[in-house]
A = this chain, B = another copy of it.
Amino acid sequence: MKPSHVSRLTTNRLSVYLRCLNTLEQAGIKTVSSRELAEQFHLNSAQIRKDLANFGEFGVRGVGYDVPLLKQQLIRILGLNKPYNIIIAGAGNLGLALAAYGGFNADGFGIKGLFDSNPERVASLVASGYPAYPMGEMKRIAKKERVNIAILAVPAAAGQAVLDHVVASGVRAILNFVPVRLRVPEGVELATVDLKIQMESLAYHLTLLDGRVGREGKNRPEGARKTDRSAPRTARK
């Protein structure tokens, strides 16, 4: 257990492994080797071992990993054995959707408040039973509810100002949906989800694919790749 520093790529994969282990556990599987895990979920076995090795020795040579045990370790490493209290800044379409989205209100992540700069919107949300507040209340609620994560879902123009307000309210981890380059002070963690960039990436690849059809000959179909790995499928060099 010596995570002097571990890359985000690695920790993101720990989340993936945890998910895989949940699947295996539900299937009643007690023990799994890195090779089995890799084959079943299209990962690389050496990478699994290396990723885990950042945090300790969890396996048994000649046998593999104990599924429930490794699962518990990953939960501990990722800090998922504690509850997380979330606020959402910006109660527009996206903010409201995320509030309603089941994915968050499970597994120890609970939405404790929705903040919006429009008082009428706040009032109407409160009337509908949401825990909605004006922006000025953020610091108070963050303290009271021991909020540790904020979701930023405001218009681009307000992004940096609202982020600064969130940070001033004492929240040190932010999931940002605002398509803008934000600056955070040292010690504050920012994860950005930029839907526009994802769409434009797809547009780019579609354009590339279309271009290929015409050009023939230039592009050899090129032998099968080994494992898919993460999300994207991409032509390689």
A3 cross-chain contacts in B, Cβ below 8 A? 208
Copies in the complex: 2
Say yes or no: B103 contacts A230, CB within 8 Å: no
Say yes or no: A193 contacts B193, CB within 8 Å: yes
Instruction: Identify which of A3, A198, A229 gathers the most chain B CB atoms within 10 Å of its CB.
Output: A198
A79 to B210, CA, bound (A): 10
Chain B's closest residue to A79 (CB) is B207
A181 cross-chain contacts in B, Cβ below 8 A? 16, 20, 41-42, 227-228
Tally chain A residues at the interface, Cβ within 8 Å: 83
Say yes or no: A230 contacts B8, CB within 8 Å: yes
- The B-contacting residues of A in range 182-208, CB under 8 angstroms, are 182-184, 186-208
- The B-contacting residues of A in range 105-150, CB under 8 angstroms, are 109, 148-149
A interface residues with partner B (beta carbon < 8 Å): 3-5, 8, 11-12, 14-16, 18-20, 41-42, 77-80, 82, 84, 93-94, 96-98, 100-104, 109, 148-149, 172-176, 179-184, 186-209, 221-222, 224-225, 227-237
